[in-house]
Chain A
Amino acid sequence: MIEETLKITNKHGLHARPAAHLVKIAGKFKSEVKIFKDGLEVNAKSIMGVMMLAAEPGSDVLVHIDGEDEKEAFIEIKELFDNKFNEE
């Protein structure tokens, strides 16, 4: 199990497009990917879930990955956060 806090640094936060990128990457892996923010827990493979976080720029989210390919999943997800969701 990998758990780490990541910061949202893109311009608008987890709007529809960046959320779609995240869901697409999370969906590639067998591991369970959950995101926690402000007491809310959502599945990162659901766009509805990710958008429900209403994560604004500058906010922190806790990413929780559990499963056989968790390392690969974490690397790619972290990269996506670092690259500002390939937005800018």
Chain B
Amino acid sequence: MKNKESTKQIIIKGLATAPGIAVGSAYVFKPFAINLTELDSVAPSAEEECEQFKTARAKVLEQLKFASKQSLESYGDEFSDIFDSQIAFLKDTLLLEEISAKIYESNQSAAYAVTAVLSQKSNHFINLENRYFRERAFDIIDLKQKLLMALFGIKIDYHLTAPSIIISENLSPTDTVNFNRNLILGFLTDQGGKTSHSAILARGLKIPSVVNGKGLSKVIKNGDEIILDGFEGTIVINPEPETRGRYLELKENYGQRQAVLVAENVKEAVTKDNTKINLLANIEFAHELSEVTGYDADGIGLFRTEALFIENNSVPSEQEQFKIYKKIAKSLEKGFFVIRTIDLGGDKLLEGLTDAEESNPFLGWRAIRFCLDNPQIFKPQLRAILRASAHGNVRILLPMISSISEILQVKELLSETRHELQTKGFKIPSKVELGVMIETPSAAIMAPTIGKYVDFLSIGSNDLTQYTLAVDRTNSKVAHSYSSFDPAVIRLMHSATNAGIANNIPVSICGEFASVPSAVPLLLAMGLRSLSVTPHFIPRIKKIIRSVHIKSCIKLYDKIQTLHSASEIEHECDEFIQTHVPELSISKEDI
């Protein structure tokens, strides 16, 4: 437990993977791991070992049935399949016989036999190409661990006695479902990313989650007081009373405000002068559909497909992609479904495919450039998207366009792909809309011409800011100069918007800037009528839209045109929000 004298406040920056703020005590969870070489190899009595194995099996079977039931009740059927296949393995008489035979023939312990037999099975699965079967390896490894724990009488304590922040090296879905979800305040894991199972689960459950990447699970002790900021990724160990108070206030404000905003979210997104704004959702997983409908988005403005590739570090087949796209297209209740083709390269690397050796990756072989050079990856994706477009209102969005010739190349590839599919008998709608991201200065400058070749534009504020200002925001020495409020960035966004309007094609924004409260009035003033944001930001943005007149936004815009620095502009916009939407006036950390 906590010792007042020896505890000093430590603040660490991690990666935020699920929003929210958690303040509470740590529960350090240690997943069980054992080495075959450490196993007791003294020749025991084979009969006795077989008996022990039988008892262990019965115990694990009991646990799994319980976990399966828990999982179904708390999480729906998304994860219960895992337990059901483990149960089936434990009921496999031939597998059980194989383990018993191993005990007799090796004259070793039950633990040895379990490890030997199940490791051989999991090794078989882990080498398979098909993703579904390959993932069964993890079920078997997990099952093996459960059996070993039962054999050694080791109990993992999933029993939380008080609300806790779970700290662990890693968390499997199996581990996660064993905790009482009402007592979980947050997750802090050493490993993982935005696409790891625990992060996905945390977002679904609305539990704040941060990945630290620094091995904190070995430093933090049970009962240590922890703060997790799932917006900024900040981790505070043993916070000082002042820090603690500040975060508690943030947490309460966030909770209260979010509750009010969510309650008001049923209203329409119209400004005070009756202009309808489309609020679209940015997502990267099919399971986020529930958030899209939950927050009543007007459609999906951005489906990032990189996660499908990065998640398993392999290229999903056309069929695998088609199934996911089709599922989303079919279940989307309103609006359209914009699929952005893969944006790999830059900081999103795929082992063995993208080039990790580039000296300037953000100016290098990424996104559309990578795709055009790799038709064996790009074409299956285009095929999957075209096929899915028969099942809903699907649109295609191309990332990182920096020249018109890239658009022409994709168009040619698309018509070739369409033709191939049609000869094979697939029915593809006669028109599938094609749009491009405006996220390079060249695309923004050329937007009036680009608009003649495509069906819609989508402004990517993050990359547009980084490329316009030539600032890498992951470089702490220059990151302070990164701001989408910079007058140069704002002018480029405005001219891209005008290009869309002039060409009579829809234009939207899907970057982070669209979810910054004080940016919203500027975007409305420019003429943007479609904002695509992470689903949980929709209530907040809707509140702003409902609180302002387009007229007063334009006044603000005129005013900021006389200002020459990002900080002055941002300050002006903050004040505007404070005056017009006082309910939202909050400190920056809250975003």
Most buried by B among A13, A20, A48: A48
Check if A45 is an interface residue, CB within 8 A of chain B: yes
Which B residues between 64 and 105 are near A, CB-CB below 8 angstroms? Answer: 81, 84-85, 88-89, 91-95
B95 touches A48 (CB 8 A): yes
B130 touches A49 (CB 8 A): no
B133 touches A16 (CB 8 A): no
A51 touches B133 (CB 8 A): yes
A15 touches B132 (CB 8 A): yes
CB-defined contacts of A13 to chain B, threshold 8 Å: 130, 132
A16 touches B121 (CB 8 A): no
CB-defined contacts of B81 to chain A, threshold 8 Å: 16
Q: Complex Cα distance A41/B121, Å?
A: 14
Mark contacts of A46-85 with chain B using CB atoms, 8 A cut-off: 1 yes-contact digit, 0 otherwise. 1111011010100000000000000000000000000000
Check if B408 is an interface residue, CB within 8 A of chain A: no
A46 touches B133 (CB 8 A): no
Contact (A54, B133) CB under 8 Å given A45-B93, A45-B94, A49-B94: yes
> In the complex, which range does the number of interface residues on chain B fall in?
10 to 19
Check if B124 is an interface residue, CB within 8 A of chain A: yes
Q: Complex Cα distance A51/B124, Å?
A: 11
A48 touches B133 (CB 8 A): no
A43 touches B124 (CB 8 A): no
Check if B144 is an interface residue, CB within 8 A of chain A: no
B94 touches A52 (CB 8 A): no
Q: Complex Cα distance A20/B136, Å?
A: 15
Q: Complex Cα distance A49/B124, Å?
A: 11
Q: Complex Cα distance A13/B95, Å?
A: 22
B92 touches A52 (CB 8 A): no
Check if A7 is an interface residue, CB within 8 A of chain B: no
Mark contacts of A8-50 with chain B using CB atoms, 8 A cut-off: 1 yes-contact digit, 0 otherwise. 0000110110001001000000000000000000010111110
> Per DSSP, are chain B's interface residues mostly helix, strand or loop, or mixed?
helix
Q: Complex Cα distance A12/B94, Å?
A: 25
Q: Which of B85, B92, B124 contacts A46 (CB under 8 A)?
A: B92
CB-defined contacts of A48 to chain B, threshold 8 Å: 89, 92, 94-95, 121
Chain A residue at minimum C-beta to C-beta distance from B117:
A48
> In the complex, which range does the number of interface residues on chain A fall in?
10 to 19
CB-defined contacts of A47 to chain B, threshold 8 Å: 88-89, 91-92, 95
Q: Complex Cα distance A54/B136, Å?
A: 10
Check if B125 is an interface residue, CB within 8 A of chain A: yes
User: B375 → chain A, closest Cβ, in Å?
Assistant: 24
Check if B128 is an interface residue, CB within 8 A of chain A: yes
Q: Which of A16, A46, A51, A56 contacts B84 (CB under 8 A)?
A: A16
Which B residues between 109 and 159 are near A, CB-CB below 8 angstroms? Answer: 121, 124-125, 128-130, 132-133, 136
User: A42 → chain B, closest Cβ, in Å?
Assistant: 9
User: A24 → chain B, closest Cβ, in Å?
Assistant: 10
CB-defined contacts of A52 to chain B, threshold 8 Å: 121, 124-125
Mark contacts of B465-493 with chain A using CB atoms, 8 A cut-off: 1 yes-contact digit, 0 otherwise. 00000000000000000000000000000
A12 touches B132 (CB 8 A): yes
Q: Complex Cα distance A43/B89, Å?
A: 14
User: B117 → chain A, closest Cβ, in Å?
Assistant: 9
Mark contacts of B35-64 with chain A using CB atoms, 8 A cut-off: 1 yes-contact digit, 0 otherwise. 000000000000000000000000000000
Mark contacts of B329-371 with chain A using CB atoms, 8 A cut-off: 1 yes-contact digit, 0 otherwise. 0000000000000000000000000000000000000000000
User: A47 → chain B, closest Cβ, in Å?
Assistant: 5
CB-defined contacts of A51 to chain B, threshold 8 Å: 85, 125, 133, 136
Q: Complex Cα distance A56/B520, Å?
A: 49
User: A17 → chain B, closest Cβ, in Å?
Assistant: 8
CB-defined contacts of B85 to chain A, threshold 8 Å: 16, 51
User: A22 → chain B, closest Cβ, in Å?
Assistant: 12
Q: Complex Cα distance A54/B81, Å?
A: 17
A56 touches B94 (CB 8 A): no
Q: Complex Cα distance A43/B132, Å?
A: 21
Q: Complex Cα distance A20/B94, Å?
A: 14
Contact (A20, B88) CB under 8 Å given A46-B94, A48-B95: yes
CB-defined contacts of A23 to chain B, threshold 8 Å: 92
Q: Which of B94, B125, B129, B133 contacts A43 (CB under 8 A)?
A: B94
Chain A residue at minimum C-beta to C-beta distance from B95:
A48
CB-defined contacts of B89 to chain A, threshold 8 Å: 47-48
Q: Complex Cα distance A20/B92, Å?
A: 10
CB-defined contacts of B121 to chain A, threshold 8 Å: 48, 52
Chain A residue at minimum C-beta to C-beta distance from B319:
A57
User: B60 → chain A, closest Cβ, in Å?
Assistant: 15
Q: Complex Cα distance A40/B91, Å?
A: 22
Q: Complex Cα distance A54/B91, Å?
A: 20
User: A67 → chain B, closest Cβ, in Å?
Assistant: 16
Q: Complex Cα distance A63/B441, Å?
A: 62
B130 touches A46 (CB 8 A): no
Q: Which 6 pairs, one residue from A and one from B, show the smallest C-beta to C-beta distance? A: A46-B94, A54-B133, A16-B85, A48-B95, A54-B128, A47-B88
In addition to A12-B132, A48-B94, A51-B136, 5 A-B residue pairs with Cβ atoms within 8 Å of each other are: A13-B132, A16-B81, A43-B94, A47-B92, A54-B128
Give 16 CB contacts A-B under 8 Å: A12-B132, A16-B81, A16-B85, A20-B88, A43-B94, A46-B92, A47-B88, A47-B95, A48-B92, A48-B94, A48-B121, A51-B85, A51-B133, A52-B125, A54-B133, A56-B130
Task: Show the binding face of B for A, using Cβ within 8 Å.
Answer: 81, 84-85, 88-89, 91-95, 121, 124-125, 128-130, 132-133, 136
